[in-house]
Amino acid sequence: MIVSMFGVLFDGLAYGMLLFLLSVGLSVTLGMMNFVNLAHCTFGMIGGYVTVTLMNSMGWPFLATLPAAFLVAAAASVVFERTMFRRLYRSTDLDQCLLTIGLVFVSVASAAWLYGTIQQPVNLPSYLRGSYNVMGVTIGVYRLFLIGMSIVITVALVGALEYTRFGAQVRAAVDNQRMARGLGINVDGAFAVTFALGSGLAGLGGALAIDIVGLDPSFALAYLVYVLIVVSVGGLGSIAGSLVAAIVLGISDMAGKYYFPEIGSFLIYLVMLSLLMWRPVGLFGKR
């Protein structure tokens, strides 16, 4: 029991880290720019298909596809932002939801048309496969890699936002857009970079997710729910909040499926409900 508990904790932690990578960008764009981007997981899906295509059709090694997944998703988001999202920054939430959910459906259909509806295979390199056995607990190498990767990204993200001039300018623009502009800060540019960064991380998350949750065209819609839960439980705009929420939800989801398989899939919603009833603005939310 105890041993299995550690196993569930570890797997849940890895799963939570994956949710964190997928959702942190949305938390930042929603919290900072007030743009409701329901198409966030579309960028995750783009990252996933980039990795699959590069590996299976072009023979790239898995690790080399990860930066590509990040870059392509980020670049795609810039195109979306410039051509569509930008026009709706001052529109109502409903307009933003309608546009972005429409994009989700378009992306789901496009992925089905291009790749079919089957699960995409991914062959991890041998050094990322297998597992260690530590005192009876199975520690999957790939899950360990996921956790390490997420820690590095979190540290880099917090560092960039809290300790660079660009990060301070983004925070200033979030705090008071007009004043930031009045001081010469290119607010639109800063937001575009932030948006691309968040989408790129989703792309990376999508690529890393294939081995854990699989990849098919429904990804953009299926994970939207999880990502929204993480963002609302964590609190808008809070990186630390997203991290904690993603870990809590990842572990409770794993635990639910392991210990209470009959209601396993519902446990994550119960956790969400109780956390939001306890703190309606999210764990680290300010509003």
- Residues contributing to the site for another protein (CB under 8 A): 165, 168-169, 171-172, 175-176, 178-187
Q: Angle formed by the axes of helices 239-259 and 141-163, to 10°?
A: 160
Look at residue 138 and give its three-state secondary structure. Answer: strand
In angstroms, the CA 63 to CA 61 distance is: 6
Q: Nearer Cβ to another protein, position 176 or 274?
A: 176
Query: In angstroms, what is the minimal distance from the CB of 182 to another protein?
Result: 4
| CA-only gyration radius of the chain, Å | 19
The widest CA-to-CA distance across the chain, in whole angstroms, is 61
Residue 6 CB neighbour total at 10 angstroms: 15
Q: Angle formed by the axes of helices 239-259 and 2-33, to 10°?
A: 140
Q: Nearer Cβ to another protein, position 121 or 159?
A: 159
Q: Nearer Cβ to another protein, position 94 or 178?
A: 178
Residue 114 CB neighbour total at 10 angstroms: 10
Query: In angstroms, what is the minimal distance from the CB of 181 to another protein?
Result: 4
Query: In angstroms, what is the minimal distance from the CB of 177 to another protein?
Result: 10
Look at residue 61 and give its three-state secondary structure. Answer: coil
Q: Nearer Cβ to another protein, position 117 or 176?
A: 176
Q: Nearer Cβ to another protein, position 173 or 209?
A: 173
HEC-encoded secondary structure of 146-190: HHHHHHHHHHHHHHHHHHCHHHHHHHHHHHCHHHHHHCCCCHHHH
Query: In angstroms, what is the minimal distance from the CB of 80 to another protein?
Result: 22
Query: In angstroms, what is the minimal distance from the CB of 166 to another protein?
Result: 9
| Residues forming beta bridges with residue 138, ordered by sequence position | 133
Collect all residues with Cβ–Cβ distance below 8 Å to 80 and sequence separation of at least 6: 39, 103
Query: In angstroms, what is the minimal distance from the CB of 189 to another protein?
Result: 9
Q: Nearer Cβ to another protein, position 205 or 282?
A: 282
Q: Each residue of 61-100: b (16+ CB within 10 Å) or e? A: ebeebbebbbbbbbebbbebbeeebeebeeeeeeebeebb
Q: Nearer Cβ to another protein, position 106 or 162?
A: 162
Query: In angstroms, what is the minimal distance from the CB of 59 to another protein?
Result: 46
Query: In angstroms, what is the minimal distance from the CB of 171 to another protein?
Result: 6
Q: Nearer Cβ to another protein, position 74 or 180?
A: 180
Reference 195, options 21, 95, 77; nearest CA is: 77
